[in-house]
Amino acid sequence: MVRDFLSLSRVKQQLLEGTLPNLQAFVYFAVITSIDNLQLGYLQVSPARPTRWTPLAVWGGLSLGGVFLIATYLLNGGASGRDYLVRYFSISAVVALWIAVPFQVLISLPSVVPSLRPLDWYVPAILVGTDVLYFTFVALQIRDVATGGQVSLAQLAQPIPK
């Protein structure tokens, strides 16, 4: 049961077949919302002081999130696509559990590894890197589900058939 819940291929299969239970979709939404709240809470209690790189990480993360949100919508078929929110939250939650949560460990390393503390670029670089990896992977998975199966790299540049 838990393995199926954390399996991206299983979630994609359920999305393709239209068999993802509403409760499971809600749990995925709750998971992704909780991860976002955890990150915001971590930032509020973090002893780290803003550095010259902090604005770049904040605005870069916001910009990347906006661009990739629009990209996932378009990759899902845009206005003619279907089930965008269910697909987005379900895929995002599973990907976050596999990518974003482990990166939280990297973000907190300076509190454990003193040699990382003077590197004012370390945490912002991890944040931006996590965003790029996470959002890219989510976008590709949504494209995969929207097209009904696996998509080759050569097909990624092709428009979605109507």
In tens, the pLDDT along 80-121 reads: 888 999 999 999 999 988 887 788 888 889 889 999 988 888
Binning pLDDT at 50, 70 and 90, where does residue 158 land?
A: low
In tens, the pLDDT along 20-46 reads: 888 888 999 998 888 877 776 666 666
C-alpha 159: how far from chain center: 23
C-alpha 23: how far from chain center: 21
Binning pLDDT at 50, 70 and 90, where does residue 154 land?
A: low
Domain of 33 in residue numbering reads as: 2-14+22-44+53-151
Residue at 60 is within a domain: yes
* Global pTM value: 0.76
| Residue percentage of the chain with pLDDT more than 70 | 85
Residue at 158 is within a domain: no
Q: How many domains does the chain have?
A: 1
Residue at 162 is within a domain: no
Place of tokens 């959002």: 135
